[in-house]
Amino acid sequence: MTASDRRPAEPGAADDITYRVAENEREKSAVIKGEFISDTVFEVAGSESGFTLRPSKLDPPVHKVFPVDEPGEDAETAEGKRRFVALDGELVCGYVDTDYEPWNRRLTIADIEVASPYRGRGIGRALMNHAVDWARKRGAGHVWLEVTNINAPAVRAYQRMGFALCGMDTSLYHGTESEGETALFMSRFLD
């Protein structure tokens, strides 16, 4: 992406937010605390044709804060990796980290974060749109991500963005702070 590829906010997104590929070390290494509040857990229910998600209310709601991950490889040197940032002036208020695997034409959303004061303004959707555009340019057939079953706000947002449940793992979080949760895998086909 060149300077001329920089785009303003998507329709309905926060005003004065700029989106682009991370250009400097500050943007590439920015970390936003991952957290959410959910009053719903998605329970996995088996059926004759596979499985479905059944929402169940949580009382009280859960507030989850993820441990801070250190930034990974430099997006400039890692083939297939790219970080798109949302900037409010010089402040990184959101980002999406992607990784493209040519063998199965999959673009993985490794992480997507929007700072709490900026949520609900379309920034996550705009970042995802940049990731999907990048996937198409790379020739990806689908975009894939993983989300915990208790992150109902994210699951619902991904569904609104065209993602569908494609798998799960009951052991992915074993031995972590998320033990007991189920990893949900979601994908969006691009072909």
Ordered by where they begin, the domains of the chain are: 3-189 (3.40.630.30)
Q: What is the pLDDT of residues 108-134, one digit of tens each?
A: 999 999 999 999 999 999 999 999 999
Characterize the bridge pairing of strands 142-148 and 106-114: parallel
pLDDT tens for residues 164-184?
999 999 999 999 999 999 999
d(CA 142, CA 47): 25
Q: With left for phi above 0 and alpha for psi between -120 and 50, is residue 60 left, alpha or beta?
A: beta
Residue of 104, 103, 99, 124 lying closest to 114 (CA atoms): 124
pLDDT at 71: 52
Whether 81 contacts 101, CB under 8 Å: no
**Dihedral angle sign, alpha carbons of residues 123, 86, 164, 173:** negative
Take residue 42 and report the two structure tokens written for it: 């998605």
pLDDT at 4 over 80: no
In the three-class reduction of DSSP (H, G, I as helix; E, B as strand; rest coil), residue 156 is classed as helix
**Residue 124: predicted pLDDT:** 97
Instruction: Point out the least confidently predicted range of 27-41, 116-130, 135-149.
Output: 27-41
Conformation bin of residue 159: beta by default, left when phi > 0, alpha when psi is -120 to 50: alpha
Strand order in the sheet with 7-8: 7-8, 17-21, 81-88, 91-101, 106-114, 142-148, 183-189, 164-169
| pLDDT tens column, 45-98 | 777 777 778 899 999 999 988 876 555 444 444 678 999 999 999 999 999 999
List Cβ neighbours of 111 (8 Å cut-off, separation of 6 or more).
34, 69, 95, 96, 97
pLDDT of 9 reads 45
Q: What mean pLDDT is predicted for residues 137-148?
A: 97
